[in-house]
Amino acid sequence: MSPLKKYIWLVDAIMRGGELGLTIEQIGNKWDADDEMRSNGAFSKRSFYRHRNEIAELFGITIESHSIGQEFRYRIADNGKSDFFRHWLLNSISVNRIVTDSQQVAQYIDIPRANANTPLPLLLEALKDQRMVSFTYGSYWMKEPVLFYNFMPHALKMFERRWYLIGRYNDNKPYRCFALDRMSHCELQEETYQRDPAFDIEQMYDGIYGVTIDEETPVESVWIKATPLQANYLRSPKLHESQMEIGEKEGCPIFALRVRPNIDFRQKLLSLGSTIEVLKPESLRQTLREEVLKMSQIYEEE
């Protein structure tokens, strides 16, 4: 059994204990009562404390101890709500638990079928141990899949329910972004690397909508006017974290964003059709105007 499965089992079991939590004996009893976990050996306190530290290091999920009288119990600190990734991970585990426990409920839950061979667990391990990876990548721009070797993972990013790996080959190469669902034959290498201490994923994606790493397109102030109905969808979730509602025009709310108007952002705006209008900058208005003209020509009647 992979360490990741053990981590998920422990987080799941302790989540079930709620705010009260579980004693170390209760956790051990649940472990030994689970056929799959017991088949990997009896529960040990030493392993639990080690896994507890590894879970905190890998996922940022803290299993804290607290006392009730003379009894020590363990629970998930703050229910993982203080961080998006922890909150997302705990929600995912909760859904998995419900579906596993109740097939009657599962038939009414439409969950997107993820690739069973996703390299996400392996890449999480690579990030933790700072180990290089190799993988074959099916790029949309290449006729044949390409083998990548000695790749140094630096971060994982989710966008529109897809995971992406960000990393590079060496200190002199630019960072690149790869979609996990287009990877195959992903393997851990024995070689390790030193993560760049100056690496800052938030700075790298400053003003970027999507996952394309873009340092050439400058950050601009973009104003968008939306119909009242569309405005509701733009308020939650926001198009970008910088988004603010700054007023209205002709009864339509206006939103201001600080973004790089790259192709991903432009395609998103075009997907909203006539429910929005870009008010500024003029360069973005012109780019969208030209694209809309091309689209209208495609649908002209012969």
CATH code, domain with 41: 1.10.10
Percent of the chain, pLDDT > 90?
A: 42
Same domain membership, residue 171 and residue 228:
no
pLDDT at 271: 95
In a domain, 199, yes or no: no
Q: Is residue 204 part of a domain?
A: no
State which of 140, 168, 189 marks the end of a domain: 189
**What pLDDT is stored for residue 90 in this prediction?**
61
Q: What is the pLDDT of residue 26?
A: 92
Q: Give mean pLDDT, residues 71-90.
A: 68
Predicted confidence at residue 9, as pLDDT, reads 83
What's the mean pLDDT in 80-107? 58
CA distance 285 to 279: 7
65/93 same-domain check: yes
Which residues span the domain enclosing 167?
Answer: 120-189
One domain, residues 126 and 91: no
How high is the pLDDT of residue 36?
81
Do residues 7 and 86 both lie within one domain? yes
**Among 297, 158, 260, which residue's Cα sits nearest to residue 268?**
260
In the chain, DSSP assigns E strands to: 63-68, 71-76, 131-137, 146-159, 162-168, 176-179, 183-192, 220-226, 244-249, 252-259, 276-280
211 within a domain of the structure (yes/no):
no
- Confidence band of 100 (pLDDT split at 50, 70, 90): low
Percent of the chain's residues with pLDDT above 70: 85
What's the pLDDT band for 117 if we cut at 50, 70, 90?
Answer: low
